[in-house]
């Protein structure tokens, strides 16, 4: 007998699970390594003794703790993707909470600082918005996914610029960076499940094409809109063409 035919949805879910498990294992190794270093710095095995850290060790401890927190956030993001694929209604059935779009992006920027620093990528943040909005809890993952994508593909020694502007009817967040060139015919596909632009595949960076797809789902859930733009070809790096890239979130108010 022939093996039963598996529909594309099941195959996509299996691929997502494989990619997610690979990344979670990598993240777990990072968490373990940073936890071990933090344990040594704090001498946790000496239970009952007081802590005394010089400035350098205190700063190192902060860095290790932030790296653990940031990596755990990445694990949470990947698990949310699986939840979304298996039961997308779970997010829209939750109650909204009052929060700040500006604050969420600022938090994501701080969370991704260790990864950006490791790549020598600078994250700049300009603009401000004090307005509070009704947000589903899953909104936290939106700025994280967008910024993570920018940092992931940004060349070493480059910059990711975040700007926030508040208008009468919307809060617009724009993220600009150098990234793999995206053709005009590919721009409209970036939020399609499983899609990766041709030049992005050449970078050697791993990806499943689910991040921007999930980010777009969260945006639509909030009646917001994501748009993408890629500039003209700028230069070639390790066999991949790079160009200025931007993503804009227009959040209604």
Sign of torsion, CA 243 249 197 67? positive
- The better pLDDT of the pair 105, 107 is held by 105
Q: What DSSP state is assigned to residue 131? A: -
Model pLDDT, residue 7: 59
Question: 94 pLDDT band (50/70/90 cuts)?
Answer: confident
Contacts with 160 (C-beta within 8 Å, 6 or more apart), sequence order: 116, 121, 122, 123, 124, 147, 150, 151, 154, 175, 176, 177
Q: Which of 95-109, 120-134, 203-217 has the lowest mean pLDDT?
A: 203-217
Model pLDDT, residue 40: 79
Read off the pTM: 0.78
pLDDT of 5 > 50? The answer is no
Reported as a single tens digit per residue, the pLDDT across 12-55 is 667 767 777 767 777 777 788 878 888 877 776 556 566 677 88
Reported as a single tens digit per residue, the pLDDT across 134-171 is 999 889 889 988 999 999 999 999 999 999 999 999 99
Reported as a single tens digit per residue, the pLDDT across 196-229 is 999 999 998 877 788 898 899 999 999 999 999 9
Sign of torsion, CA 11 213 211 178? positive
Helix (H, G, I), strand (E, B) or coil at 155: coil
Query: Cβ–Cβ contacts within 10 Å for residue 178, how many?
Result: 21
Tokens of 137: 């809890």
Percent of the chain having pLDDT more than 70? Answer: 91
How far is the C-alpha of 249 from the C-alpha of 238, rounded, in Å? 30
Residue pair 141/77 in contact by the 8 Å Cβ criterion: yes
Q: What is the average pLDDT score of the chain?
A: 85
The highest-confidence range among 65-69, 85-89, 234-238, by mean pLDDT, is: 234-238
Q: What is the largest CA-CA distance in the chain?
A: 70
């Amino acid at each position: 007998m022939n093996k039963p035919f598996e529909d594309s949805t099941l195959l996509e879910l299996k691929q997502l699970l494989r990619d997610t498990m690979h990344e979670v294992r990598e993240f777990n190794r990072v968490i373990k390594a940073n936890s071990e270093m933090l344990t040594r710095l704090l001498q946790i095995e000496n239970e009952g003794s007081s802590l005394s850290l010089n400035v350098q060790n205190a700063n190192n401890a902060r860095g290790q703790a932030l790296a653990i927190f940031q990596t755990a956030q990445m694990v949470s993001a990947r698990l949310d993707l699986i939840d979304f694929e298996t039961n997308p209604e779970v997010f829209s059935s939750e109650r909204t909470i009052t929060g700040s779009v500006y604050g969420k992006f600022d938090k994501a920027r701080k969370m991704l600082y260790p990864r950006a620093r490791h790549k020598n990528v600078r994250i700049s943040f300009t603009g401000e918005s004090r307005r509070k909005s009704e947000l589903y809890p899953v909104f936290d993952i939106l700025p994280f996914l967008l910024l993570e994508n920018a940092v992931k593909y940004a060349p070493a020694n480059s910059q990711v610029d975040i700007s926030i502007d508040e208008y009468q009817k919307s809060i617009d967040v724009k993220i600009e960076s150098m990234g793999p060139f995206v053709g005009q015919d590919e721009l409209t596909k970036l939020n399609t499940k499983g899609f990766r632009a041709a030049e992005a595949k050449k970078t050697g960076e791993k990806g499943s094409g689910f991040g921007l797809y999930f980010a777009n789902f969260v945006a639509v859930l909030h009646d917001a809109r994501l748009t993408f733009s890629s500039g003209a070809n700028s230069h070639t790096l390790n066999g991949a063409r790079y160009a200025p890239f931007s993503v804009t979130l227009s959040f209604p108010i």
